[in-house]
Amino acid sequence: MIPPEFLERLKLIVPQQDLEAVLRSFSSPEILSIRVNSLKDAVKETCSRLKIDGSLLDPVPWCPDSYQVMGMSHGEVSHHPLAAEGKIYQQSLSSMIPVVVLDPKPGEKVLDACAAPGSKTTQIAAMMCNEGALVAVEAVKGRFFRLKSVCQLLGATIVKCKLCDVRRFHPSDEDAFDKVLVDAPCSSEGRFKSDDPESVAYWSVRKIKEMSYKQKGILMSASRLVKPGGVLVYATCTFAPEENEEVVDWFIRKSEGLFRVEEAGIAGVPVLPCLTSWGKNEDRKSVV
């Protein structure tokens, strides 16, 4: 059951014309999507093997080498020999978006600041064609080893994994990065499922406030690692304005002109409008 307090907040966050579709998403089956790993094999050959096994692949137009899969279940994909070989990787469409926005290029120096379990890290490595430098930072030991395992399986050889909280990660000045991804820990409201009590078990307004405080520290620390003229992408999987617009607004004000917000729209990906006020905080002009 979705928490009533969350639903009341959602009515204030999501425009009325979009609310019904958002509410349906909590009970709708998850779209099955994969990335075909170009680091391990030719994409065309891998797709041919999947089609032989009876799957239908619908290309995701805005994300390279990514497909919606029909004719197979989540279990069949995760246990498929191609998954065991690291040639396909099951990843949600929403998870792919931040890396598409980051747009990493071969030869660049990139930091994934909250990297585990490695979905986005290996997506970055694939878009870089394993050329350049990619540092993946993870603070939790168990998740760190999962990250290393995924990078090894998918052949992401340019990745250097660091067991460290990015708030205490201090490389030398020459190690500043062209691009930094902060896929921040959050209250995960976008992952709520009405038939899965575990998905909502830890949600509370207090949790949102705790996450917001943590996100600000992570974002500010990561920003100090970006080269002048570089790119910093901040992403969450939650609706809470305290973790989205308010964090970005706080950061833009604290960074005193060193960073600016840019449009990050992707053709074919629907978006909701940015909130310019929430609770006592109004006129959030820095994020619109």
164-193 per-position pLDDT tens digit:
999 999 876 567 999 999 999 999 999 999
pLDDT higher for 156 or 285? 156
Q: Does domain 4-20+94-287 have CATH number 3.40.50.150?
A: yes
Mean pLDDT check: name the lowest of 129-138, 230-239, 264-273: 264-273
Q: What does the pLDDT average to over 127-151? A: 97
Residue 124 pLDDT more than 60? yes
The pair of three-digit structure tokens given for residue 222, joined into one six-digit string? 């990561």
Residue 281 banded pLDDT, cuts 50, 70, 90: low
Apex CA 111: angle with CA 63 and CA 215, to 5°?
Answer: 95
Check if 237 is active-site: yes
Residue 288 pLDDT more than 50? no
Residue 286 pLDDT more than 80? no
pLDDT at residue 52 in the model: 80
User: Following DSSP, what letter does each residue of the chain receive, concatenated?
Assistant: ---HHHHHHHHHHS-HHHHHHHHHHTTSPPPPEEEE-TTTS-HHHHHHHHHHTT-EEEE-TTSTTEEEEESS-HHHHHTSHHHHTTSEEE--HHHHHHHHHH---TT-EEEESS-TT-HHHHHHHHHTTT-SEEEEEE-SHHHHHHHHHHHHHTT-TTEEEEES-GGG----GGG-EEEEEEE-----GGG--TT-GGGGTT--HHHHHHHHHHHHHHHHHHHTTEEEEEEEEEE-S---GGGTHHHHHHHHHHTTTS--------TT---PPPPS-BTTB---GGG-
Residue 45 has φ and ψ, to the nearest 5°, of -70, -40
Q: What does the pLDDT average to over 4-30? A: 95
Catalytic residue chosen out of the listed positions 47, 161, 186, 237: 237
The domains of the chain are located at: 4-20+94-287, 31-91
Express each pLDDT in 36-95 by its tens digit.
999 998 899 999 988 887 789 999 999 999 999 998 999 999 999 999 999 999 999 999
pLDDT at residue 214 in the model: 97
Q: What is the mean pLDDT of the chain?
A: 93
Alpha carbon 198 to its chain centroid, in Å, reads: 21
The class level of CATH for 31-91 reads alpha beta
